[in-house]
Structure 1
Amino acid sequence: MSEGTERKRFERGVEALRQIPDPLRRLDAVRAAREELESLEAEAVRSARSEGATWKAIGALYGLSKQGAQQRFRASGVVREDG
């Protein structure tokens, strides 16, 4: 699947959330989606690291330094204290 196709699928999902008419139901759905995305992000970082991606490369995706990337993902348990 191309990056453009992946982006369009994601945007359709976001639009589906926007279309939930009840504000509290929409808020709950957005909260649940954010939690799922945070989990997916941590999993993707762990996977990237296990396949040899450097913290520098991961940081570059976020506009962060190597150290910034490590700090960002330390709270989610992706970064072990020994680095």
Structure 2
Amino acid sequence: MMAEDVNAAVRGAVTPGATDIWLAGRPVGEIGLAHATAAAIGVALTVLTGDDCACTEMTEWDASVRTGAVKHARDRFAASLTNQPPYC
């Protein structure tokens, strides 16, 4: 990941009226943007916990990052907790 790509993505994120952010030719969400930023400064991500959609997004960006779904997304603003033991 090149620093110029991250800078372009950040500019898109803070531009008023921006509705989509694209990085490396594909749409990117909060997780992909954080991953790209970390990679650009040499920080390796190893673990992500969150809802099932967050885990899927992280796996699409970097399959080497371990993920643990602790809830299931119901919609953009709501989630149901899983009925599993804690991951940590």
- Rg (Cα) greater in structure: 1
TM-score (norm 1): 0.28
TM-score (norm 2): 0.27
Higher RCO, 1 vs 2 (CA within 8 Å, ≥6 residues apart): 2
